[in-house]
Amino acid sequence: MELYFKDDWTEARQILTGWWNHRVEGRWALGVRAPRNQPLLHDPAPPLSGDFKTRWLDYETMNLHKEAWFASHCFLGCVYPEDTAYLGPGSLNAFLGCPIDFQQETLWYGPVYDDPEKAGTLELDRRGFYWKWTVEALAYLSQRAAGRYVVTMPDLIEGLDVLSELFGTQEFLMHLIDCPDAIHGLLDQLDGLYFEAYDELADMIKSPEGHVPFMAFNAWAPGRAAKVQCDFSAMISADMYNEFALPHLRRQCQRLDYAVYHLDGPGAIHHLDAVLTIPEINAIQWEPGAGNPHTGDRVWWDRIWKKVYAAGKSAFLHGVPAHEIEPFVKEFGQAGTLVITDVASEDQARKLMDDSLDW
């Protein structure tokens, strides 16, 4: 079935299925966004509220603005229009009781606990506002999006990243040293809580074939998909990562059909070798961080991408300037390579898609 905002959705799913499995199916996985020559018809979007909390939580108005953006842009190749019930990166924190400070462009979670040894049993607050809001918003979006665009899983986030918000980052670094047994116990709880949330929300958005796309990093796959991460890893040693992060990430990925790992910033590179040992991780997405060369720059080829391809993982690159995509593809090949970029016009986008077939 094709979509109103993407009329080659069938082909895109074929392309993405090949990419996850480190092969080319149809054509290699290039996705290009650009302003449309002729915008599509769409419902008008009212102004956003000046109150940031109201703005974030007004999912109907936020969605109309998203649809207006879909209507004005084309999505070529493997990239597709998607929307979700978004409470920032780490909805699981909100479901576990973290207060939220809403800002114009982002939000921050506040800590809940002081002492891991006294935290007790963690529970999803299904009677809480943010869980109910998420369920309500996903139900609305699922109805609204049918036949038009893709509804995806919110960015739940897991493991150490969640605990660092529940306790506060600075404090949690000390807890790892002072009470490791308590941290292990909390991580074990989170392994189950993640899928309590994931499974229930997945039932709301999955396709008849059982496909569950994840909002981050173009993560549609022919099954249950998610982005996994440990941004907290930039602050800990390899030994701590291997003890507190690696086994839980593997346990999480074993309950998914497809997983892409979000490697966040230069401080996380020293954990890449460990990440690549997880068989159930299919792909790596690299985020260089503000002020650093883009994700496909040659500076990262030896440090990141040669290791990724050598391990048989697929590569996700975003934000690579259009003129620098060809050298990367010629170096690493089309199989297992996914690149998403933006260009200034639909004509440029279509030319780039055509030209890329010969790389």
What one-character-per-residue DSSP string does 13-59 give? Answer: HHHHHHHHTTS-BSB-EEEEEEE-SSPPP----PPPPSSHHHHHH-H
Residue type, 98: C
Residue of 69, 19, 27, 29 whose CA lies nearest to 48: 69
With beta carbons less than 8 A apart as the criterion, state whether 305 and 314 touch: no
Q: Confidence class of residue 227 from pLDDT cuts 50, 70 and 90?
A: very high
Instruction: Give the rounded distance of the alpha carbon of 313 from its chain centre.
Output: 17
User: What is the reported pLDDT for 49?
Assistant: 97
Rounded Cα distance between 159 and 262, Å, is 14
Which CATH architecture does the domain made up of 9-356 adopt? Alpha-Beta Barrel (3.20)
What is the pTM assigned to this prediction?
0.97
Residues 312 and 306 sit within 8 Å (Cβ to Cβ)? no
pLDDT one-digit tens code per residue, 121-175: 999 999 999 999 999 999 999 999 999 999 999 999 999 999 999 999 999 999 9
Mean pLDDT of all residues in 24-40: 97
pLDDT, mean of residues 256-275:
98
Is the distance from CB of 258 to CB of 224 less than 8 angstroms?
Answer: yes
Q: Domain segments of the chain: what residues?
A: 9-356
Q: Is the pLDDT confidence value at 10 over 90?
A: yes
Q: Which residues of 14-45 are buried (b: 16+ CB within 10 A; e: fewer)?
A: bbbbbbbbbebbebbbbbbbbebeeeeebeeb
In contact, 14 and 329? CB cutoff 8 Å: no
Does 1 score more than 80 pLDDT? no
What are the two backbone dihedrals, phi and then psi, of residue 262, each rounded to the nearest 5 degrees? -90, 105
| Model pLDDT for residues 301-353, shown as the tens digit of each residue | 999 999 999 999 999 999 999 999 999 999 999 999 999 999 999 999 999 99
Flag whether pLDDT at 191 surpasses 90. yes
State the chain's mean pLDDT as an integer.
Answer: 97
Q: To the nearest whole percent, how much of the chain has pLDDT over 70?
A: 100
